[in-house]
Amino acid sequence: MATYSRLPGSVALITLHNPPVNALSAAVRQGIVDAVQRALKDPKVTSVVICGQNGKFCGGADIREFAGPMLGPPLVPMIHAIEAVDKPVAAAIEGVALGGGLELALACHYRIAHSKAVLGLPEVTLGLLPGAGGSQRLPRLIGLTAALDLITTGRHVSAAEALKLGVLDQVTDSNAVDLAVEFVRSVAGQPLDSRRLSTLPCPCPPDVDSLLDKVMSKVRQRSRGALAPVACVRALRAAASLPYAQGMEKERELMATLFNSGQARALQYAFFSQRVVGKWSLPSGARWDNSTARIISKAAVIGLGTMGRGIVVALALTGISVVAVETQEKQLAEASRVVPAMLQREAGRRRLATPPGVISFSSNLQDVSEVELVIEAVFEDMSLKLQVFKHLSSVCRPGTLLCSNTSGLDIDQLAAVTQSPGLVVGMHFFAPAHVMKLLEVVYGPRSSPEAVATAMQLGKRMGKVGVAVGNCPGFVGNRMLKPYLEQANFLLEEGATPRQVDEALEEFGFPMGVFRMSDLSGLDVGWRIRKEAGLTGPGVESTRTRQGRRYSPLPDQMCEAGRLGQKTGKGWYQYDGPGGRVARSDPWVHIFLETYRAEHGLVARSITLEEILERCLYALINEGFNILQDAVAAGPEDIDAIYVFGYGWPRHRGGPMFHADQVGLGRILQRLNQHSHPDVPHLKPSTLLRRLVAAGSPPVQKWREFINKERVHSQL
Ligand SMILES: C/C=C(\C)C(=O)SCCNC(=O)CCNC(=O)[C@H](O)C(C)(C)COP(=O)(O)OP(=O)(O)OC[C@H]1O[C@@H](n2cnc3c(N)ncnc32)[C@H](O)[C@@H]1OP(=O)(O)O
CA gyration radius, the chain: 28
Q: Which of 85-89, 286-290, 540-544, 556-560 has the lowest mean pLDDT?
A: 540-544
The residue that leads in pLDDT, 35 or 679, is: 35
What's the pTM value of the predicted model, to 2 decimals? 0.95
Ligand 1 pocket test, pick from 16, 58, 63 with the greatest ligand atom count within 8 Å of Cβ, gives 63
Instruction: Tell me what pLDDT residue 60 has.
Output: 98
Instruction: Tell me what pLDDT residue 44 has.
Output: 94
Please tell me the distance from the alpha carbon of residue 279 to that of residue 366, in angstroms, as a whole number. Answer: 36
Write down the architecture of domain 2-259 according to CATH: Alpha-Beta Complex (3.90)
Domain residue limits, the chain? 2-259, 298-473, 496-599, 609-712
Mean pLDDT of the chain: 96
Dihedral sign computed on CA atoms, order 578, 579, 580, 584: positive
pLDDT(355) > 70: no
pLDDT(576) > 90: yes
Q: CA 8 from chain center: how many Å?
A: 47
CATH 1.10.1040.10 fits 496-599, yes or no: yes
Same CATH fold, 609-712 and 496-599?
Answer: yes
Please tell me the distance from the alpha carbon of residue 504 to that of residue 387, in angstroms, as a whole number. Answer: 44
276 lines ligand 1 (CB under 6 A): no
pLDDT(679) > 90: no
Ligand 1 pocket test, pick from 21, 25, 251 with the greatest ligand atom count within 8 Å of Cβ, gives 21
**Region 221-243 average pLDDT:** 96
Is residue 177 within 8 A of residue 164, CB to CB? The reply is no
**Region 196-200 average pLDDT:** 97
Ligand 1 centre to CA of 62 (Å) is 8
Instruction: Tell me what pLDDT residue 680 has.
Output: 86
Which fold does the domain 609-712 belong to in CATH? N-(1-d-carboxylethyl)-l-norvaline Dehydrogenase; domain 2 (1.10.1040)
Instruction: Tell me what pLDDT residue 689 has.
Output: 98
Ligand 1 centre to CA of 20 (Å) is 8
Instruction: Tell me what pLDDT residue 524 has.
Output: 93
User: What are the tens digits of pLDDT across the range 67-86?
Assistant: 889 899 999 999 999 999 99
Active site residue: 94, 103, 372, 376, which one? Answer: 103
59 lines ligand 1 (CB under 6 A): yes
Q: CA 650 from chain center: how many Å?
A: 10
Ligand 1 centre to CA of 237 (Å) is 28
User: What are the tens digits of pLDDT across the range 628-643?
Assistant: 999 999 999 999 999 9
Ligand 1 atom 52, closest CA: 275
Residue 123 annotated among the catalytic residues of the structure: yes
Q: What is the pLDDT confidence band of residue 350, given thresholds at 50, 70 and 90?
A: confident
Instruction: Tell me what pLDDT residue 354 has.
Output: 64
Ligand 1 atom showing the smallest separation from residue 56 Cα = 22
Strands 47-52 and 89-93: parallel
Instruction: Tell me what pLDDT residue 681 has.
Output: 86
Cα angle 200, 206, 210; round to 5: 110
Single-letter code of the amino acid located at 159: A
Q: Say what the ipTM of the complex is.
A: 0.99
**Region 265-269 average pLDDT:** 98
Which fold does the domain 298-473 belong to in CATH? Rossmann fold (3.40.50)
444 lines ligand 1 (CB under 6 A): no
Instruction: Tell me what pLDDT residue 536 has.
Output: 95
User: What are the tens digits of pLDDT across the range 489-506?
Assistant: 999 999 999 999 999 999
User: What are the tens digits of pLDDT across the range 324-347?
Assistant: 999 999 999 999 999 999 999 999
Ligand 1 atom showing the smallest separation from residue 60 Cα = 6
Please tell me the distance from the alpha carbon of residue 323 to that of residue 301, in angstroms, as a whole number. Answer: 6
Active site residue: 83, 123, 326, 623, which one? Answer: 123
28 lines ligand 1 (CB under 6 A): no
Ligand 1 atom showing the smallest separation from residue 118 Cα = 21
Neighbours of 553 (CB within 10 A): 20
pLDDT(547) > 70: yes
Instruction: Tell me what pLDDT residue 8 has.
Output: 83
Ligand 1 centre to CA of 128 (Å) is 15
559 lines ligand 1 (CB under 6 A): no
126 lines ligand 1 (CB under 6 A): yes
Q: CA 292 from chain center: how many Å?
A: 26
Residue 610 annotated among the catalytic residues of the structure: no
Instruction: Tell me what pLDDT residue 532 has.
Output: 86
275 lines ligand 1 (CB under 6 A): yes
Ligand 1 atom 15, closest CA: 59
User: What are the tens digits of pLDDT across the range 557-571?
Assistant: 999 999 999 999 999
Q: What percent of the chain has pLDDT over 70?
A: 99
Q: What percent of the chain has pLDDT over 90?
A: 93
Please tell me the distance from the alpha carbon of residue 212 to that of residue 396, in angstroms, as a whole number. Answer: 59
How does DSSP classify residue 380? S
pLDDT(677) > 90: no
Residues facing 468 on adjacent strands: 441
